[in-house]
Amino acid sequence: MQLRDKDGLTEQEFLAAYRPGDYPRPSVASDMAVFTVTNSDAESYRRLPGKELRLLLIERGGHPFLGRWALPGGFVRPNETVGQAAARELLEETGVDQVYLEQLGVFSDPCRDPRAWVMSCAHLALIDARRVEVRAGDDARNAAWFRVLFQPEPPAENGLRRMRLGLCCGGISLTALLERRPAGRPADAEGWVILENSGLAFDHAKIIASAMDRLRDELETGAVAFHLLPDAFTLTELQQVYEVILGRPLLKAAFRRKIAPLVRETNRYTENAGHRPSRLYRRRQEEKP
């Protein structure tokens, strides 16, 4: 433990004498794609309400990108990790604690922020809609939950996958067209390239596309959907969450077989439905032997 370097210093002595050099340093922000699933209010007679996937966006009140919509986020502080920064911002923005949070990756194009050299470490966050005290449509900063569409477009001549991103809230409609660059060449372009973009700030269309991709991926492998529902839920609700994220309908029987090992049934049922009540389930905490 008392190794000495070429100047004869021990590690303690070296660190005591250390002065950081003058290498240029970027600002680093943690930005978040915060998703939730809400009931669509258009419920007629005694039908079940549908579900909608929604993303939290904030209208920019200053330059640059004044008037456009951006992901919530903020700068990372020296005493926290990027993940802790994201959790802190999220608590400030939505008042929700203990959120499912996952790192998506760094977006570091030197020109992504016209003001200065700012990298963004993007995160995916999932919240049960019932836990959010809606500061959406607030006063000072205009925040809103946008309905999300993310659908394949016919690929171009180059054969690369293209996706249309659509975000709607009230009368506002934002849209972007993105192209997926193959993995393995981050030196050229990282992941998604924005071909069209109306209404989103910075490179946030890219981040949202990455988030949707990740979300769809993890739905099939992991057990991520539970974070978008309350503790007790019906299997139909769970299936609706899957469908609204994947953007396509699933078969009931197959779906139930697939998620059966992930849930535990309770003895409670839904009430006051205009039809046969549904059993409530909880997430089964894993028990790998």
Of 11, 43, 196, 231, the one binding a copy of itself (CB under 8 A) is 11
Nearest alpha carbon to residue 246 among 102, 124, 150, 147: 150
Nearest alpha carbon to residue 100 among 87, 88, 112, 82: 87
| 8 part of the interface to a copy of itself, by CB under 8 A | no
Tokens coding 7: 């100047």
The residue among 43 and 231 lying less far from a copy of itself, judged by its C-beta, is: 231
Of 42, 44, 46, 62, the one binding a copy of itself (CB under 8 A) is 62
Using the contact rule CB under 7 A, the part of the chain among 11-19, 99-107, 135-143, 246-254 near DNA is: 246-254
Q: Contact, 231 vs 207, CB < 8 A?
A: no
| 155 part of the interface to DNA, by CB under 7 A | no
| 64 part of the interface to a copy of itself, by CB under 8 A | yes
Angle among Cα 216, 127, 203 to the nearest 5 degrees reads: 60
Q: From the list a copy of itself, DNA, none, which binds 152 (C-beta under 5 to 8 Å, kind-based)?
A: none
Q: Mask of contacts with a copy of itself, 169-188, x by CB under 8 A?
A: --------------xxxxx-
User: Closest approach of Cβ 49 to DNA, in Å?
Assistant: 9
* Phi, psi angle pair for 148, to nearest 5°: -110, 130
> Which 8-state DSSP code applies to residue 228?
G
Q: Is the dihedral of CA 80, 219, 71, 89 positive or negative?
A: negative
Nearest alpha carbon to residue 126 among 162, 90, 82: 90
In whole angstroms, give the CA distance from residue 233 to residue 282: 7
Using the contact rule CB under 8 A, the part of the chain among 34-42, 103-111, 196-204, 271-279 near a copy of itself is: 103-111
In whole angstroms, give the CA distance from residue 219 to residue 196: 28
Sheet strands side by side (includes 279-283): 233-234, 279-283, 263-269
| 234 part of the interface to DNA, by CB under 7 A | yes
User: Closest approach of Cβ 270 to DNA, in Å?
Assistant: 7
Q: From the list DNA, a copy of itself, none, which binds 46 (C-beta under 5 to 8 Å, kind-based)?
A: DNA
| 289 part of the interface to DNA, by CB under 7 A | no
Q: Count of CB atoms within 10 A of residue 120's CB?
A: 27
Of 4, 47, 141, 264, the one binding DNA (CB under 7 A) is 47
Question: 78-81 long-range CB contacts below 8 Å, 24 or more apart?
Answer: none
The residue among 48 and 177 lying less far from DNA, judged by its C-beta, is: 48
Q: Contact, 73 vs 120, CB < 8 A?
A: yes
User: Closest approach of Cβ 18 to a copy of itself, in Å?
Assistant: 5
| 276 part of the interface to DNA, by CB under 7 A | yes
Binding site for a copy of itself (CB under 8 A): 3, 5-6, 9, 11, 14-15, 18, 20, 23-28, 61-64, 66-67, 75-84, 86-87, 100-103, 105-106, 108-110, 114-117, 119, 121, 123, 159, 183-187, 190, 222, 227, 286, 288
